[in-house]
Amino acid sequence: MKKILLLAITLTLSFLMLNCGDSSKDNNDFSDKDASSDAQKRYGIKSAVVEYIITGSQEGTKTLYFDKWGMRQAEYTRSVLTVSGFSKPINLVNIIDGDYQYMINIDQNSGTKTRNPILKSMDELKGQKGFNEFGEQMLLSIGANKIGKEEFLGKDCDIYEMRNIGTKLWVWKWITLKSETNSRGLEINVTATRINEGSVPKDKFTIPEKITLNEVDLDNIENEMREENK
């Protein structure tokens, strides 16, 4: 079970990083004026709400909110993960804002605060010029290969495959609209059902009250995952 939970964490972090185009290092006062060039954007659209359904070993819904060209985003997930006959409810809020990422368990009123993992990749790939070039290089750097194109929800998507974690992704403007994962007995499909472009309420990016946050080093999680895979 521990290995399965670690895999679930890895898949979550991978999904966050894959929703990525180019940008410079951010802060909480990032303005629309600052996002005037491709070099300061993560996504190809300024703001939107994307609604998903989750099926397979994990069933439920997810909603992605983002603005400032993706420099600020929040994911709300309510689902149930079933492994070997055991079920675990998931009620998570995942916020990326500036230098930090907050992964919050609503049911437990607790969460973790980590350095924004995307910024590390940005720094490693800072030689890339535009968000299209950056997004492609980020996908390649974590083991994804482009295998085709397909229209989904009326959008022209590029399809990428990550064989190391058994995942396929349908990507539009560097937003993952669909993912299919089959790994270690887990089959999880995340499928967008609606995209609403436009302004997003600011309260969606606010950390809920009465949440206790602990600071965590993501490198330790990655190292533990490597040890589990030996």
Q: What is the pLDDT of residue 209?
A: 87
CA atoms within 13 A on the CB side of 113: 10
Q: What is the pLDDT of residue 127?
A: 59
Contacts with 189 (C-beta within 8 Å, 6 or more apart), sequence order: 54, 55, 56, 178, 179, 180, 181
Digit-coded pLDDT (tens) for 153-187: 999 999 999 988 899 999 999 899 999 999 888 89
**What tokens appear for 40 in the block?**
């300061």
Which band of pLDDT confidence, cut at 50, 70 and 90, is reported for residue 140?
confident
Amino acid present at 191: T
- The Cβ of residue 212 has, within 10 Å, a number of other Cβ atoms equal to 9
Which band of pLDDT confidence, cut at 50, 70 and 90, is reported for residue 4?
very low
Does the model's pTM come out above 0.85?
no
Q: 48 - beta bridge partners? A: 66, 197
Which band of pLDDT confidence, cut at 50, 70 and 90, is reported for residue 19?
low
Question: Which of the pair, 117 or 27, is modelled with greater confidence?
Answer: 117
Q: What is the pLDDT of residue 117?
A: 73
Digit-coded pLDDT (tens) for 96-122: 988 899 999 999 999 999 988 767 666
Digit-coded pLDDT (tens) for 64-82: 999 988 889 999 999 999 9
Say how far apart CA 118 and CA 20 lie, in whole Å: 8
Say how far apart CA 105 and CA 228 lie, in whole Å: 24
Nearest-5° Cα angle at 103, 100 to 108 = 140
Say how far apart CA 155 and CA 173 lie, in whole Å: 9
Cβ proximity of 171 and 156 under 8 Å: no
Q: Where are the alpha helices (DSSP H) in 79-188?
A: 117-124, 131-141
Say how far apart CA 230 and CA 227 lie, in whole Å: 5
Cα 43 off chain centre by: 12
Which band of pLDDT confidence, cut at 50, 70 and 90, is reported for residue 131?
low
Domains of the chain, earliest start first: 2-229 (2.50.20.10)
Say how far apart CA 139 and CA 181 lie, in whole Å: 16
Q: What is the pLDDT of residue 185?
A: 82
Q: Mean pLDDT across the stretch 45-61?
A: 96
